Amino acid sequence: MTRRPIPASVSDKPGHILEIPDSLGRDVDRFHAGTGPAPPMEAFMSDASLEQVERQTAAASSPVHAEDLRPISGAEAARRTTFDGEHLPAMPARRRVIPAPFARPSVCGGTHGKTWQRVRADQVRKGDIVPGVGLVALVHERLRRETVAGVAGVATRVEFVLTGAGGVIQAFSPGEQVQVFRS
- Does 19 score more than 80 pLDDT? no
Q: How many domains are contained in the chain?
A: 2
- Does 98 score more than 70 pLDDT? yes
Domain membership of residue 91 (yes or no) is no
Domain membership of residue 6 (yes or no) is no
Domain membership of residue 22 (yes or no) is yes
* Separation CA 161–CA 171 (nearest Å): 4
Domain membership of residue 161 (yes or no) is yes
* Residue ranges of E strands in 7-65: none
Closest CA to 123 of 72, 49, 182: 182
* Separation CA 170–CA 153 (nearest Å): 22
DSSP, collapsed to helix, strand or coil, labels residue 2 as: coil
Domain membership of residue 158 (yes or no) is yes
Averaged pLDDT, 98-112: 70
Q: Write out the residue range of the structural domain in which residue 48 sits.
A: 17-61
* Separation CA 26–CA 3 (nearest Å): 38
What type of residue is 29? D
Range with lowest mean pLDDT among 48-62, 121-135, 152-166: 48-62
* Separation CA 180–CA 124 (nearest Å): 8
- Does 120 score more than 90 pLDDT? yes
Regarding pTM above 0.75, the answer is no
CATH of the domain at 169: 2.30.30
DSSP, collapsed to helix, strand or coil, labels residue 97 as: coil
pLDDT tens digits for range 134-155? 999 999 999 888 888 888 888 8
- Does 50 score more than 90 pLDDT? no
